[in-house]
Amino acid sequence: MDTSVKQHSRLRLLSGICRREALAEGIGTFTLVFAGTGAVMVNAISDGSVTHLGISFVFGAVVAAMIYCLGHISGAHFNPAVTLAFWSSGFFPKRLVLPYILAQLIGAVSASALLLISLGKVANLGATLPLNDDWLQSFVLELVLTFILMFVIFGSGLDRRAPVGFAGVAIGLTVFLEAAFMGPITGASMNPARSFSPALIAGIWQHHWVYWIAPIVGAQLAMIVYRYLSYGFRDMK
């Protein structure tokens, strides 16, 4: 009887922790999409007052801010490709993968829906589309961009040898730089949730698969390479 009660209490505790972590992921992804794609929309409404570099800065800054705000609660993934890479690396439990990804998608879609209500259907709600309909170019570039991002995440956020407290800055700067130089070509998504939400709300699905497959593959490749560099992650544990 005592064992059964203890098991029940343990399950309730784990369930509560899971809900809090998933909620943090939902809030973080909501904020990312609301601020980032919101900047794209406001730039269109205001005849370019935000500028492309301004949009890139917003994406990088909001990622950095949410890492420092929620990283100690959920790990600050805010990205299904990151969650899957953490899981395949062994640093993230399988039981949390689906709750995290669902929370990320719900948060992102909620942000796009709110932007549609508040600003209207402007700039395709910040949807990501390949330049000149060149899906192969965008696939390769999104894969490489996400590889770089995930590589920085492993090196600055998980490796115990990295300087403490700089992960948010390093990751945010990476998002800013990649959005700045490659945003006009692919949208520099690097995040299936970020691309999924405006696609769903605006109904824009052209080559949408690119923004799921390329980031996931790129993040997995980064995991494989960093695992090799850190001797099977032994240097990180």
- pLDDT at residue 236, as a whole number: 72
Q: Is the dihedral of CA 212, 98, 171, 161 positive or negative?
A: negative
Helix or strand holding residue 7 (H, E): helix 2-45
Two tokens, residue 150: 């995930």
d(CA 144, CA 50): 27
In the predicted model, is pLDDT for residue 188 greater than 70? yes
Q: Assign domain 14-236 to its CATH architecture.
A: Up-down Bundle (1.20)
In the predicted model, is pLDDT for residue 11 greater than 60? no
d(CA 8, CA 5): 5
pLDDT band at 8 (very low <50, low <70, confident <90, very high): very low
- pLDDT at residue 141, as a whole number: 98
d(CA 194, CA 105): 8
In the predicted model, is pLDDT for residue 16 greater than 70? no
Over residues 177-185, mean pLDDT: 98
- pLDDT at residue 232, as a whole number: 86
Buried b (16+ CB within 10 A) or exposed e, 80-89: bbbbbbbbbb
- pLDDT at residue 1, as a whole number: 43
Distances (CA, A) of 176 to 36, 132, 207: 11, 23, 24
Residue 3: count other Cβ atoms within 10 Å of its Cβ.
7
The structure tokens 């972590």 sit at 21
